[in-house]
Structure 1
């Protein structure tokens, strides 16, 4: 015969101070875990959402980054002739040779100067990213001009980034002609301009850092990727843009490790707190436990009841912890991209996966913390418990 759930709930209410203290201890562990997972979820969204499954990134063979993937310009005409490439608004192959460099800009608040990604591209570079990047103010940069468009995030965080302002980097000043919205992708941390201006200003004439090819469909994109990699004349590597940004989520490895260490340390403390609470419950309710035995409840039912009560405590703590973290959902923060060595901004996200993991983590703490007290309660002799 099972013990009613109402029995556990009633006892939690009767010992509300102890219940609340234990739940808050578990909530503290959950909030820390959720916070770190929100960082990872936001970082992953920023990188993974940047990729388009129809865009194929071309780099020098053996290169893993746009910063180190340069190759000579004479390979661009060959790339443009590959089958499966979509056409742009002018009926030409949608291909963009690009350079990615890092420049230093001062923050608006004057606290520091930070590395920022500058992407030089051909006009097709804007068109093949049209689904991700939308112009919200001003105009796109003009070819052959020392003009830039900045992401809304760059505009909000750095000095001299209003439309019409002049930014100093490279060999001179650049005019800001527009502001675009990157839709929460890694593009939100970039400045865009004409590739020829970047090549001239940073002494990179005669080559391109990488190239983007827009495929007609996913099958063509996969075919293009392999065709580029297998062409012995080109000596280049091809990968889907989604694959490239997926690899950059390795930036979260440090946060993931830190989250595991901190979460495990705090979880051990919370497990001890839950264990102490349940031991206190056993001592406080020894006569009740004996009475339950006299009434015919088996030891297995008592073990199950106390473990369930410990899990209820953990779920209460999880609920409190998740609610406490809700105000941080959508909050912007930044980290250093270990591939480009520039700052990347992203928003922390509470996702279903984050919530589910937090709940499972809390339940695990409740289960571990409740086993020993529950077993002790079930093993007590009836007469000894009645005399306590």
Structure 2
């Protein structure tokens, strides 16, 4: 029989993974809290939608240089410190948003001053929160061991999915009570989690981070970063295209378009989480099989969107989301196998590729409008490129 100390030792990694997942899920919740509150903020403040979009973009763009930096720091100083900084940045940003918007509504500050303060907070967000997911992945890998790298990465990805599913539901309920409650909830939750994070024992690295030039590291995993970039760009284009796609279905009324966008996004999040928990976590396929299967499902999913039927769209979003859920942890794990001493830095570089991909989606939408080409065609093209890169990488 197992003694009490043995049982506690076995349970500790699982508890730590749950806690790390909670840290990561708060990002997904925070992103959705801002999006849910945005329409009301536009109506209740003198800040227009264009300005809000710029403010949101400021934080997102800063992920590009800062995510790899925090990845390096995670390798050097340990992920707990980086996660704590990310959570603290999240707390400062969202509590600050609530205070500034309240001050603006009470006419304590001018609109110009509020925009400058909100912009400063978004800079803080971009420079600190960008390290939260890479460091969480690094911490999860440290917790369960490199031999269980795929399971660790999937745990963090699943936590993000949970935040993105629960975020809109809770945010809608909180907004009805007070438009600033979602911000206050995220900020106070982040402060509480900072305390829990600092109370966790730091896991010392058994291997010092290998000193490798960023250019050399980037060159060795560039194909995996490109696959991730293509995946996020294709998803971003689809999200932008959902309303035009629904408008092509004659039986839907304009009032139903918005509802069905929500239904499709929720279906996508549920399919993603289900695949992460019941396929990836169960290790039903090898990493190479996951890459091949994910790329194939992604291409099929985008292709189904060419059939203008709401039932087909639902099938398409399930197939596509399942493919993405299988593929993302697979190429992340493959990239980390090349340099096991630089897990945090690699996670940061892949996160940067994802950010670039979502940014590229906006440019693709502009290009599709200029060329008068259906945007979904670009998603299919990107999925095809992912398949080529995947098979090329598996051959090497």
TM range (shorter): under 0.3
Question: Between Structure 1 and Structure 2, which shows a larger proportion of strand residues?
Answer: 1
Highest Rg: 1 or 2? 1
Question: Between Structure 1 and Structure 2, which shows a larger proportion of helix residues?
Answer: 2
TM-score normalised per structure 1: 0.25
